[in-house]
Structure 1
Amino acid sequence: MLRPTKFTTPSLAILYFHFQSLTTAAAVAPPVDEAHLLRVCTILYQQQNSPDAKLHTNLNKTQFHLTHEFFLQVCNKFPYSWRPVYKFYQFSTSHPHFAHTATTFNKILDVVGKSRNLDLFWALCRESGERRLVNVKTYIIALRTLAAARELKKCVEFFHLMNGFGYEYKVEIFNAVIEVLCRSKLADEAKHVVVKLRDWIRPDSDTYRWLIHGFCDVGDLIEASKLWNSMVEEEGLEPCVEVVELMLEGLFKSNRFGEGLKLFQSMRVRRVESLGLSTYRLVIEWLCRKGKMGESYVVFEEMKTRGIEPDNAILGWIVYGLMSRGRVREAYGVYQSVENGDVCVYHGMIKGLLRLKKAGEATEVFREMVRRGCEPTMHTYVMLLQGHLGRRGRRGEDPLVNFDTIFVGGLIKAGKSLEATKYVERAINRGVEVPRFDYNKFLHYFSNEEGAAMFEAMAVKLREVGLFDLADILARYGEKMATRDRRRNRANQSVEEDLSLVSSSPRQY
């Protein structure tokens, strides 16, 4: 059962302003003429190696209106090719009525950085500082590109370069860059930047939090522990609850369960008032995963004693833990005591029943889940299909039950002949290599109207041979995908109508 990603306050703020800028731009900027865009991109592609004078002459002869949105659309057509974008950038600088903004310049940096033309990239970074077109996104693009290319010296030099252009050293911008590097699994590079810039930018608790997050994410708990000790002993900073949870999850994932429980016990002794619902949820989840129901009940009772009410995610893990230990009656007692159960509780029950090889009862829980208005997710269907058909699919003498026939025929209908051929090759060599079936891809291929018709026909055939549970699961998935496809089409039509109204309505200035 997947836990939702936790967003910090700065991350939510970045997402809000990004969404606000997108909606404002869509409401104000006129739509780009696709014919003009195609003509300009064709010239840039065909004449990217031509002299600048010839290219500029051909572009000047072409009818198009150069706006910031048009420039960004041209860059989107060449996401990994720096030459056409840079040629168009040189043309735009000679245009008398066009001035670049931080957004357009960041787009150039992004394309050039992805193409790994580091000399040109560094020159453009310097030019962005000279033009005063630098913002937080510029720092992120620059450090992410240079760190991925292992240009560690230039990573540090970039901050000094921007400071020379009047952009002061700020720990807020610094932490935003460190966050992106650590989320991109570049924890070593992020640590190098922190160490080299310590004399100019003093790391704070957020800096250490993201560094620990980065090393825990790549599984380097030794380095994460060193950073923890450095934060506490050298800097005198108290680790926040999020840092504690990161270390706990890292220790649990690496099978260092005893060390994780020791850390949790030390927090209960020293700072029990700082422990909240998220920490208890994490510990109870892993205790239930390991089947340690006695310890999980102790933590559960402590949480309730402190006045923290358990959420459905915790109750779902309790149900799963009891089921995995064969305590079916207790699990049903907890399951039935939940008044407003959500997908977490139902997933805990379904997963536990499937572990006990009770696919029929798990399907009954699925039907109850649908009756009560709780919408199943893709994970629900994948679990149920694996429970009925096995992780590697199931063969049968009856063609209606033969899963190889269903899968291969479905792939061919979806136009995935290469994947079907690979699966057939593995099926032929079944004695040597047992083909593993990817239910996620199978369901993803048919998440449309055609898939809905196919699943309905498959459900009819499965009912003919008595497989009613499996037929209901596939029929329900097909129905859900059909309605989703219609909703998406309606949404696209409404957006197109809005754009047509915006372009046709007169503007008032």
Structure 2
Amino acid sequence: MLLRRTTTLLFAKNLAVQPLRRHLSNPISPVNQDDLLRVCTILYQQQNSPESRLHSKLTSSNFQLTHEFFLQVCNNFPYSWRPVYRFFLFTQQQQEKNPTFTHSSVSFNKMLDVVSKSRNIDLFWNLVNETAVRRLANGKTFVIALKTLGGARELKKCVEFFHLMNSNGCGYSVERLNKVVDEMCRVKLVEEAKFVVFKMKDWIKPDGVSYKHLISGFCEKGDLIEASKIWNLMVDEGFVPEVDAVEKFMETFFKVNQFGEALKLFETMRLKRMDELDVSIYRLVIKWLCKKGMMSRAHEVFDEMCERGIQVDSLTLGYVVYGLLAKHRVREAYQVVEKIAVVDISVYHGLIKGLLKLRRANEATQVFREMIKRGCEPNMHTYIMLLQGHLGRRGRKGTDPLVNFDTIFVGGLVKVGHSKEATKYVERVINRGMEVPRFDYNKFLHYFSNEEGAIMFEDVAKKLREVGLFDLADILERYGQKMATRDRRRNRLPIIEDTNI
């Protein structure tokens, strides 16, 4: 009885699942939540029972089997293949008695997704074969299959999958190959994607898009040698590198500190393909030139961008403002900001980051107040920058317990029930020796992003004001108000603007 109650509570939390778009032949029908809870409980409790016993239990529950019902069951077991697969076998039996119920591409893809997450490759491959035989495979099936098989290093099966699908109605298609390669590269399976592309060359000739995805994948991985090989191969085959691939290459060169190579590539684009240069590439070049303090060169690129009639976006302006401040050209930075009609968060971030680099944390906080006053809502990055500016990247540990962030952080973790995290942090502090552990502001804010955190930040803000730290108090209090309930946010007071109280 206790187990049954526990199981019922376990599934009750997961039943509010938003319906997805379904295949037209299987319109969405309402699901009886009591039936769903009962069936999921049976599947959970009887997942290791003999087939006859499980089927008897399910049959006696008298639920209405529909396409939507099957999907909802799958949603309640997102990482557990056994209940889903055994329910699928039951539906196969019921399909003979209930001809109105049929599986579709959506239901098979849902089941494949669940099995893929459990890494049961043998069962997954059997289901892939069944999907192919029933001719229910679509683009999503290809993505699920190749990501799963590639992730498990089943490279021969990756190639075999294309041949299997071709023999069952899904012909060889470069568009489908490109979609699969793109998705594999996004999840860091670029080596596996390359294997598939080259092994399938006799049946599917890769195009410029295929090579672009591989180049982007290797650049994301930081493997410039392999990316260069793909680039040369693409050029040898007569394809012109797409602008996206060029931009990704330039970005990677910048990241690995090969500024000369990145700028050479940019100059080549300016000479041969000037018409294809857009705001994205100009922004990338300006961003890194400003980071390196090469402001005269950044101004040249910026002026060229304006002369060509390309609309300058806020991100680019933010980088320019930061670059000027980093070179101590504060007046020019403020003049740029004053000329902008609508200042958004990107420009404010450039201003705040630049001022913090100059160790002008109080002035950065004043900009923070100004952006709130103008209706520009700060995000998590804003708060992290400001806290690092006031407290340093490793936090502040002082004699005054009111401003000792080790105490605030550990005490707060315990209060919100993260005792294990608190213990780990204390161990790091005790054993740090000469090397002080970096204070994780992201975690600090994340743990207190709730109503309890709002109350805690109010208390901390009061204590900080008692010792004269008004800027820090305003930042934390504002974050607490942001995390408060809707009613409290509606009634919150405006932030204090005068720091000389």
Fold match by TM threshold 0.5? yes
- For the pair 1:113 / 2:113, whether they are aligned, the reply is no
Tell me which residue corresponds to 2:67. Answer: 68
State the one-letter code of the partner of 2:89. Q
- For the pair 1:150 / 2:150, whether they are aligned, the reply is no
Q: 1:224 pairs with 219, 222, 227, which one? A: 227
1:288 Cα offset (Å): 0.9
- Could you tell me the percent identity over the aligned residues? 65
Whether the 8 Å CA contact 1:320–1:352 is kept in 2: the answer is yes
Q: Which moved more, 1:133-142 or 1:440-449?
A: 440-449
Whether the 8 Å CA contact 1:448–1:485 is kept in 2: the answer is no
Q: Which moved more, 1:397-406 or 1:71-80?
A: 71-80
1:112 Cα offset (Å): 1.6
1:90-489 equivalence runs, <5 A: 90-95=89-94, 96-97=97-98, 98-234=101-237, 236-483=238-485
CA RMSD of aligned residues (A): 2.0
Q: Which moved more, 1:432-441 or 1:91-100?
A: 432-441
- For the pair 1:53 / 2:52, whether they are aligned, the reply is yes
TM norm structure 1: 0.88
Q: In structure 2, what is the Cα distance between the partners aligned to 1:484 and 1:168?
A: 53
Whether the 8 Å CA contact 1:462–1:470 is kept in 2: the answer is yes
State the one-letter code of the partner of 2:209. D
Tell me which residue corresponds to 1:6. Answer: none
Paired positions, count: 466
Q: Which moved more, 1:238-247 or 1:433-442?
A: 433-442
Q: In structure 1, what is the Cα distance between the partners aligned to 2:463 and 2:31?
A: 50
1:485 Cα offset (Å): 8.8
Distance 1:386 1:252, change over 3 A: same
1:427 Cα offset (Å): 2.2
1:20 Cα offset (Å): 10
Whether the 8 Å CA contact 2:429–2:436 is kept in 1: the answer is yes
Tell me which residue corresponds to 1:504. Answer: none
1:331 Cα offset (Å): 1.6
1:23 Cα offset (Å): 9.5
Q: In structure 2, what is the Cα distance between the partners aligned to 1:48 and 1:371?
A: 58
TM norm structure 2: 0.89
Distance 1:222 1:163, change over 3 A: same
Q: Which moved more, 1:65-74 or 1:137-146?
A: 65-74
Q: In structure 2, what is the Cα distance between the partners aligned to 1:386 and 1:483?
A: 26
State the one-letter code of the partner of 1:268. R
Please give the per-residue CA displacement for 1:9-58, whole angstroms capped at 9, x wherever unaligned: xxxxxxxxxx9954999xx7355444433332232233222221221111
Q: In structure 1, what is the Cα distance between the partners aligned to 2:402 and 2:48?
A: 59
Please give the per-residue CA displacement for 1:300-357, whole angstroms capped at 9, x wherever unaligned: 1111121223211111101111111222222222222222110010000100111111
1:394 Cα offset (Å): 0.4
Whether the 8 Å CA contact 2:481–2:488 is kept in 1: the answer is no
State the one-letter code of the partner of 1:81. S
State the one-letter code of the partner of 1:339. A
Q: Which moved more, 1:147-156 or 1:423-432?
A: 423-432
If asked which structure has higher relative contact order (CA below 8 Å, sep 6+), I would say 1
- For the pair 1:86 / 2:95, whether they are aligned, the reply is no
Whether the 8 Å CA contact 1:426–1:433 is kept in 2: the answer is no
Q: 1:111 aligns to what SS in structure 2? A: helix
State the one-letter code of the partner of 1:202. K
Q: Which moved more, 1:261-270 or 1:66-75?
A: 66-75
Distance 1:324 1:221, change over 3 A: same
Q: 1:80 aligns to what SS in structure 2? A: coil
Q: In structure 2, what is the Cα distance between the partners aligned to 1:296 and 1:115?
A: 50
Q: 1:400 aligns to what SS in structure 2? A: helix
Please give the per-residue CA displacement for 1:147-206, whole angstroms capped at 9, x wherever unaligned: 111111111111111110111112221111111001011111111111111121121121
Whether the 8 Å CA contact 2:22–2:28 is kept in 1: the answer is no
Distance 1:410 1:24, change over 3 A: farther
Please give the per-residue CA displacement for 1:199-257, whole angstroms capped at 9, x wherever unaligned: 211211211111111111111111111111111122x1111211111111111112111
1:79 Cα offset (Å): 2.4
Unaligned residue ranges in structure 2 (runs of 5+):
1-17, 490-501
State the one-letter code of the partner of 2:273. R
Distance 1:20 1:259, change over 3 A: farther
Unaligned residue ranges in structure 1 (runs of 5+):
1-18, 488-509
Q: In structure 1, what is the Cα distance between the partners aligned to 2:160 and 2:168?
A: 13
Whether the 8 Å CA contact 2:22–2:106 is kept in 1: the answer is no
Please give the per-residue CA displacement for 1:391-435, whole angstroms capped at 9, x wherever unaligned: 111012222111112111211111111111122222223434413
Q: 2:484 aligns to what SS in structure 1? A: helix
State the one-letter code of the partner of 1:399. P
State the one-letter code of the partner of 2:431. N
Q: In structure 1, what is the Cα distance between the partners aligned to 2:149 and 2:392?
A: 45
Q: 1:282 aligns to what SS in structure 2? A: helix
Q: In structure 1, what is the Cα distance between the partners aligned to 2:320 and 2:411?
A: 40
1:444 Cα offset (Å): 1.3
